[in-house]
Structure 1
Amino acid sequence: MKLLKLKIENKEGFRSLQQGFEINFHSLADTEAMEQFRPFCFAGLNGSGKSNVLEALANIFYHLEVCVAKYLPESIKDLSNFKRTECSPDAFTLEYLIGQHNRKLYTLFYFDKVIITKKEGKEPQMFIQPFPFDKSVEIREISLTPPKVRDNAADGKEYLPAHIIGYSSGENEILSLPFIKSRLMHLDEYKQATRDNYDRFDEPENSLIYIDNNMSQAVLLACLLFENKKTLAPLRHIDNTGILGLTSFRINIHLHDFEFQDEITKSTIKTPILKLLEQNQLEALKKCATSWFSNRKTKTLWLDFHVNDATKLAFKEHFHSSLECFQFFRLLYELNNHFVDEETKIDVYRSKGIYTDGKLPVGSPRQDMFHFLDFYINKELKTGKVKDLLLRSFSDGEHQFLHTMGICLLLKDRRSILLLDEPETHFNPSWRAKFVKTLNDSISSGNPKGLPHGDFNVHLLKDVLLTSHSPFIISDCLPDNVVLFEKDEDGHTSAKKASELGIDTYGTSVNLLTNRIFKNKETIGSYAMSKMMEFKKRFNSGEKTENLIEELNNEFGDSIEKLMLIKEVTDKN
């Protein structure tokens, strides 16, 4: 999918985005650019509103997913918890291009332009316009309301992204809220399927996935089990993570029960939480394990995996794809919320995003239904030595790197949108400088060639939106894809492309970008600069120039500021 435009139209706006705020993404006048990897980088000072765009998109897609859903848990049917006529933002226009899996080629000729509008207090509406997306083709409305019998999702489901991915390095509660609500919906969906004696349960209907530390383990595991050396090359490189492969891991499952009330006797009925998974996914997992054993007394199941080629073949036979494997682990992780009571769920469903983390309890190891243990990675160190290391021993920067690259590999051939809020905060300067290239390598490595109907361009399938304060990342993005956020004196937010402002970003020096975008002319820290200015005062007061220059050189490292100061005082003499 490729985003075209978002406009906020409700009177109250959305957070710092006022009514009338508009941001333009791809242009229909330059469709060739859509076939290349061109992430959108939102830049600006703190509080300028760049993260609010990610938050608005997450909220909008959450609202649409609930509107079109075939299945809704009873908790969401309560109008106090969700109303089709109320969204945040409550009035908007969203436009994007999207292709369908049932068509032969992923080329724009087979894409549709999707226009979603919502008026305040009204239900959203969806319209589609086939290629070439102009007046020569008719615009028609697509229903966002499922059939009354709810035997299928609404027709509009086919025109939504297959996956909406959220990630924030700063624990952005507003961004994570719709994803947390989705997790609770998944739990309720599964719980009611268990109560109603479904035969099996494969994956939740809702497409929102939030990548936190726990979920990233599932992402990495699925990638290392299914991907080949070519697609894993960006991770394997010694200058990135040096990961050579997966050595071993253990899965710990506590066999907890759901408790239901019998409608007739009003007695409590206990049903194993894994009832719908026992005969299919869980049995498949046992067949992939090197060994497994259970303790009936503690109601615990352990599965050990010593990973070799046979292990990988077993996973490919029973789970077929890395995404299918991930979806199973994702479901198990979401079942960790099984102990959350109905009152807490309702509190979260009605939450506007502030202090949501405090509302949702965190389970103890015994309350958890599922977690990984002894997750060992085979890693090449900078010294050239190869060593097995626990995943938990990796640095914050390495974990952050794996979050982002792993999910790109996992969704390389899926139509998706990635909302990444400052994904590089723990990176060293070298990693920041190569972040965009590595993202491109991760996505492009999965580009199939020589298919019967032609090459498969994965870049048309997804859009990547990220916020950043890093001039290194901005320097790797084209000016049409760098959006600068500013607030005027009245507090109104504007979002303009660097190309509109006449700012060249691609390949531009990070010092120049820091000056032009972040209004910071100095290349050294403020404290060092203040101390350097004290030397300038001493020069101006008449102290001996040669002695002060020697003292200046002894105290400060090399910088443009120091050279300019020395030149200034020597020119005066």
Structure 2
Amino acid sequence: MRLLGLALTGEYKGLRDQTFDFTQSEDGVIALIGLNGSGKSQLLELVAESFAYLERAVREEFRARRHMPFKVELIYSALDESANTPQPVTIGVEIALDGSVSAMLQREDDWEPVTTEFIPLPRHVVGYASGLNENLQRAFLKNALQYFDVMQIRANRRKKLEGLTVDEAEVDRIEEHYFLRHRGVFEPIYRDDPIQLNERDTPLPTLKFIDYDCAALLLASLSFQPRTFFDRVFPDIAHRYPHKLVIRYDLRNAPIAPDTSKDILQLIRIVGPHSVQGLCPRTNDQEYEIHELDYLAADIVIDLESAGLRGLFENTYLGEPIRFFEKLYKIQLLGIRAWQSLDKKELRKDDFFGNVKKPLKTKLPLSITELKLQSATGELVDFDDLSDGESQLIQTLGAAYLFGRNSLFLFDEPDTHLNPEWRTNFHKHLKSAMAGTDSAQAFVTTHSPFLISSLKKENVFLVEKNDNHITSMAPVPHETYGASFEVLIKQYFGLTTAISQTAVDDITHQLHSAGLSKAEQRQWIEQHLGESMEKAYLLKRLED
């Protein structure tokens, strides 16, 4: 997945009537730089909102209830995974002011129209924000809610049909109601005259946001990789080897789908029933017949050092951690039931661009309650006790590896908690995690000259806001690859010097206001200032 361009007609926050062109970018990582408040994050939000709306329009079981108050045109390349052998195609999509969607596909040199349901989407659009940017998360929550609504509709139908096998007329009425109201959720099977419905497969939403709960699940999904994997993807993290994992599920208040219990049962069969610690009374005969679980709420305690366990997971999930992640993530999404009703009402509106807060993890039907990590020397720490920088690296690099092919990553300041050495290596490690995934692309907002120095200028875009509070974006004019950090912060971050303003003010006072002779000025500089280009310049000026 590569976003090649986006054109906005109308206004989204500080963005207005602009075209964003990324066709000249070659690296899979694109950096958006600029001062605080310049609008970098708003561009990520617009990309997320556009793909979220597109998914709602493409998927028959999802609903686009209100159109967005602006027009968006997207051009992107993606793998068309509907073919037997996935083929790269270029897609041009227009989301009109009235909400209608039209698209063209380019195969070789020809463009051809394609109906909405056949528009190739990215496999994943993955979001991450280091701070409290709930605005970026909003687009992801909208589509997560759409998925939950489908699960709720399916659960409501099953509940209404329970015990109605004798009353055929009522069964027919219920089936016809759901067929007419929710054609994208169900498909009919005709047996003589009455309609009988099957539940269609409902894939997870394309958009996935890496918040705290999802981050723990992400690392848990990677826990069955060999140690060499963690050495390659997380080389800077001392406690990088998963040692113990506790998965808690609670299905007592969730809209359970038939495969929900099956996925949990599959996990229990891998680790063994001795690993299950019940959190409620055992299921009765009727509950067990439906779910085949001894408990509707329990902890599954997994010793990740257990002999043969890795092989069992590889065989069950075909050696693909993403399969394990998705089976558990779709259970986690059932926790949307606990969201505030007002938030859910707003998130169902395509033109809603306000703030929402996701509830705490304690209300989730599935969560990671304990994840022990081990160092090479055997020292153990909890995942929750990692530093902010360690956690940030695990989330971003782990996501880059897990979702990989045909994915678009929207990372809002993923390097804020990293020390200078880790910032210097961040691009290298991100590319390593994305190794072998030429079809993936990451947009990264950053204030770090370390990342910029790792990228060619075609992959660095300067975002600025004018006096009318309108945001503009343009490629940087000078080569950034290999440029010194001092040069970059002066060119693009509004600094005239590479030392602190406190030191600048003190130097100005001592050299211009204190009445010191040149000899005294030299003595003060040598005694009070650390080594810097500024110190060398001042001494040279006094000498001249």
Structure 2 length as normaliser, TM-score? Answer: 0.83
State how far apart, in whole Å, the 1-side matches of 2:238 and 2:456 are. Answer: 29
Change in Cα spacing, 1:172 to 1:341, as seen in structure 2 (3 Å) is closer
1:142 and 2:114 aligned: yes
Structure 2 counterpart of 1:404: 396
Structure 1 counterpart of 2:537: 564
1:302 and 2:299 aligned: yes
Structure 1 counterpart of 2:346: 347
Would you say the 8 A contact 1:397–1:427 is kept in 2?
Answer: yes
* SS at structure 2 position matched to 1:257: coil
Structure 2 counterpart of 1:184: 145
Would you say the 8 A contact 1:201–1:277 is kept in 2?
Answer: no
Structure 2 counterpart of 1:121: 98
1:493 and 2:475 aligned: no
* SS at structure 2 position matched to 1:224: coil
State how far apart, in whole Å, the 1-side matches of 2:199 and 2:380 are. Answer: 37
1:98 and 2:109 aligned: no
Structural mapping, 1:276-425, within 5 Å: 276-277=258-259, 279-289=261-271, 291-297=275-281, 300-308=297-305, 309-320=307-318, 321-340=320-339, 342-350=341-349, 352-357=352-357, 360-362=358-360, 365=362, 367-380=363-376, 385-412=377-404, 414-425=405-416
Change in Cα spacing, 1:528 to 1:160, as seen in structure 2 (3 Å) is same
Structural mapping, 1:484-563, within 5 Å: 484-498=462-476, 501=477, 503-538=478-513, 541=515, 543-563=516-536
1:442 and 2:433 aligned: yes
* SS at structure 2 position matched to 1:302: strand
Would you say the 8 A contact 1:95–1:116 is kept in 2?
Answer: yes
Structure 1 residue 342: deviation in Å?
Answer: 4.1
* SS at structure 1 position matched to 2:409: strand
Change in Cα spacing, 1:339 to 1:119, as seen in structure 2 (3 Å) is closer
* SS at structure 2 position matched to 1:466: strand
Change in Cα spacing, 1:99 to 1:369, as seen in structure 2 (3 Å) is closer
Would you say the 8 A contact 2:490–2:498 is kept in 1?
Answer: no
Change in Cα spacing, 1:422 to 1:125, as seen in structure 2 (3 Å) is same
Change in Cα spacing, 1:376 to 1:203, as seen in structure 2 (3 Å) is farther
Would you say the 8 A contact 1:7–1:22 is kept in 2?
Answer: yes
Aligned mate of 2:89, from 106, 112, 129? 112
Aligned mate of 2:23, from 22, 26, 32? 26
State how far apart, in whole Å, the 2-side matches of 1:481 and 1:122 are. Answer: 32
What is the aligned-residue RMSD (CA, Å)?
A: 2.5
Structure 1 residue 200: deviation in Å?
Answer: 8.4
Would you say the 8 A contact 1:194–1:276 is kept in 2?
Answer: no
Structure 1 counterpart of 2:292: none
Q: Residues 206-261 of structure 1: CA distance to partner in whole angstroms, max 9, x if unpaired?
A: 21100011101111111221x44554333342xx1134521111112223225xxx
The letter of the residue matching 1:15 is: K
State how far apart, in whole Å, the 2-side matches of 1:47 and 1:279 are. Answer: 46
State how far apart, in whole Å, the 2-side matches of 1:233 and 1:178 are. Answer: 34
Aligned length: 488
Change in Cα spacing, 1:104 to 1:361, as seen in structure 2 (3 Å) is closer
State how far apart, in whole Å, the 1-side matches of 2:100 and 2:482 are. Answer: 45
State how far apart, in whole Å, the 2-side matches of 1:390 and 1:513 are. Answer: 38
Aligned mate of 1:465, from 443, 446, 463? 443
* SS at structure 1 position matched to 2:223: helix
Change in Cα spacing, 1:558 to 1:102, as seen in structure 2 (3 Å) is same
Structure 1 counterpart of 2:231: 233
Aligned mate of 2:68, from 69, 81, 87? 87
* SS at structure 2 position matched to 1:196: helix
Higher deviation after alignment, 470-479 or 309-318: 309-318
Change in Cα spacing, 1:464 to 1:179, as seen in structure 2 (3 Å) is same
Structure 1 length as normaliser, TM-score? Answer: 0.79
Q: Residues 92-134 of structure 1: CA distance to partner in whole angstroms, max 9, x if unpaired?
A: 211112222355766xxx42221111332241211112113xx
State how far apart, in whole Å, the 2-side matches of 1:40 and 1:305 are. Answer: 39
Structure 1 residue 372: deviation in Å?
Answer: 1.5
State how far apart, in whole Å, the 1-side matches of 2:488 and 2:96 are. Answer: 39
Q: Residues 107-166 of structure 1: CA distance to partner in whole angstroms, max 9, x if unpaired?
A: xxx42221111332241211112113xxxx2x222122xxxxxxxxx222xx11111111
Change in Cα spacing, 1:348 to 1:122, as seen in structure 2 (3 Å) is closer
Would you say the 8 A contact 2:142–2:347 is kept in 1?
Answer: yes
* SS at structure 1 position matched to 2:41: helix
State how far apart, in whole Å, the 2-side matches of 1:102 and 1:348 are. Answer: 30
Would you say the 8 A contact 1:479–1:506 is kept in 2?
Answer: yes
Would you say the 8 A contact 1:255–1:300 is kept in 2?
Answer: yes
State how far apart, in whole Å, the 1-side matches of 2:538 and 2:489 are. Answer: 21
Q: Residues 535-562 of structure 1: CA distance to partner in whole angstroms, max 9, x if unpaired?
A: 11246x2x24434433333332222222
Change in Cα spacing, 1:468 to 1:295, as seen in structure 2 (3 Å) is closer
Structure 2 counterpart of 1:149: none
State how far apart, in whole Å, the 2-side matches of 1:492 and 1:295 are. Answer: 54
The letter of the residue matching 2:370 is: D
Structural mapping, 1:469-480, within 5 Å: 469-480=447-458
Q: Residues 363-404 of structure 1: CA distance to partner in whole angstroms, max 9, x if unpaired?
A: 6x3x43222223101124xxxx44111111100011110111
Would you say the 8 A contact 1:203–1:328 is kept in 2?
Answer: no
The gaps in structure 1 that reach 5 residues or longer are: 28-32, 145-153, 259-272, 448-457
Identity of matched residues, %: 22
The letter of the residue matching 1:472 is: F
State how far apart, in whole Å, the 2-side matches of 1:201 and 1:325 are. Answer: 21
Would you say the 8 A contact 1:111–1:131 is kept in 2?
Answer: no
Would you say the 8 A contact 1:18–1:492 is kept in 2?
Answer: yes
Change in Cα spacing, 1:326 to 1:203, as seen in structure 2 (3 Å) is farther
Structure 1 residue 310: deviation in Å?
Answer: 1.8
The letter of the residue matching 2:445 is: T
Would you say the 8 A contact 1:223–1:409 is kept in 2?
Answer: no
Higher deviation after alignment, 464-473 or 47-56: 47-56
1:431 and 2:398 aligned: no
The gaps in structure 2 that reach 5 residues or longer are: 159-185, 187-197, 283-295
